[in-house]
Amino acid sequence: MRLIYIVGPSGAGKDSLLNGLRQDLASMDNPPPLYFAQRTITRSHHQSNEHHESVDESIFESLLNNDAFALNWLANGLHYGIRHTEMAQMSEGKWVMVNGSRAYLEEAKLRFPGLTVLHITAPVEILRTRLLSRGREDEQAIEARLNRLQSFAPEPQDLCLSNEGSLAESQAILRNLLHQRTGISINKL
């Protein structure tokens, strides 16, 4: 199975790491077969640094009813979906990376047995600081997010990255983890 399902708490730096990986690939003359699945989300483009398809809830519901999604979940009041067309890259021999949800992980495993889980996290104090600096939620909501961390434990076969150092250090660790699991070499120029 050529699916890498990425999970981790808000504030772990998933988008920053994935954006860095995208930039690395864009700078390569002959990039490896790695594809970043675009998410369809019921939020505007202005609320995220992630490139995604923004739709309202009625359009999302229509897409869902018409079986447009291979994966879909509800998290933090937003609907997320990964279209079948995004997952089709696997049949072309590419590794597909999906920025997923911890709460949906078991369902994703049922739908795509053998997927690789990449768990990106950071120490609680770093997460708290990052979430507070975003200013999207009050302290009570942030503490609720941080308390939910205790209910998730990666499995031994999962890839795990603690994004607590510099972004460059964490990106190097991510490239190494991907190389070990997939054989894909991502050379940073």
Query: In the prediction, which pLDDT does 77 show?
Result: 87
43 located within any domain:
no
What are the φ and ψ backbone dihedral angles of 154, each rounded to 5 degrees? -60, 155
Q: What total of structural domains would you count in the chain? A: 1
Q: Rounded CA gap, 131 and 138, in Å?
A: 9
Residue 88 in any domain: the answer is: no
99, part of any domain:
yes
Asked, for residue 67, whether it belongs to a domain, the answer is: no
Q: How far, in Å, CA of 114 to CA of 91, rounded?
A: 15
| Residues of the chain scoring pLDDT < 50 | none
How far is 53 from 10, CA to CA, in rounded Å? 20
Q: Note the pLDDT of residue 90.
A: 96
Residue 17 maps to which CATH number? 3.40.50.300
User: Does some domain include residue 19?
Assistant: yes
* Within-domain flag for 161: yes
Where is 179: in which H helix or E strand? Answer: helix 167-182
- CA distances 148 to 19, 140, 153, 159, 169, Å, are 26, 13, 11, 20, 27
- Fill in the amino acid letter for 119: H
This prediction has a pTM of 0.91
Range of the domain at 33: 3-38+93-182
Read off the pLDDT of residues 2-33 as tens digits, 9 standing for 90 and up: 999 999 998 999 989 999 999 999 999 999 99
- Count of Cβ atoms closer than 10 Å to residue 100 Cβ: 27
Residue 115 forms part of a structural domain: yes
CB-based contact 7:101 (threshold 8 Å): yes
State the pLDDT at residue 76: 79
